[in-house]
Amino acid sequence: MLTYKRSNRGDRRVTTQRYQQASEHFLAQARQELSDGDLAQASEKGWGATAQILKAIAEQRGWEHHRHRHYHRAASRIRAETGDGEIRRLFDSASALHENFYENDMPPDEVAERLDDVGALMDKLLPLLN
């Protein structure tokens, strides 16, 4: 069985910052990949941005975040905590980008719209880190 070391409070702050920075970096990369016409990579980087911001919040709060299902749980917990139903829709949009990485059948305008959804989700979640 795989186990994970629980971060102490100081380590958790550094790890949270790393996840947040990675999230912002992945979204910028996703937009560049879209501009370059690589829709599969744009999609996966958009999903990566989403996963990283959720990992940042989960790390900060001591929630599990090492498996795909944990991102869904974190999004649901944040939605319940904030009462913001749009969080689920934005998360689902990001999740569709992850699927598109494997299928690569989403048109460019839809990838662009979903990357905008990732940006909107990050705008909602970043203030929860401060």
State pLDDT tens for residues 38-95: 999 999 999 999 999 999 999 999 999 989 899 999 999 999 999 999 999 999 999 9
pTM: 0.89
Q: Residue 49 has what pLDDT?
A: 98
Q: Residue 10 has what pLDDT?
A: 58
Domain boundaries, the chain: 11-129
Q: Provide the residue type at 127 as one letter.
A: P
Residue 108 and residue 40 in contact, taking contact as beta carbons nearer than 8 Å? no
Give 13's pLDDT tier (boundaries 50, 70, 90). Answer: confident
- Which of 59, 40, 39, 43 minimizes the C-alpha distance to 97? 43
CATH topology of domain 11-129: Four Helix Bundle (Hemerythrin (Met), subunit A) (1.20.120)
DSSP 8-state secondary structure symbol assigned to residue 101: H
d(CA 95, CA 29): 17
At residue 80, the 3 state secondary structure works out as helix
| Residue 29 pLDDT > 80 | yes
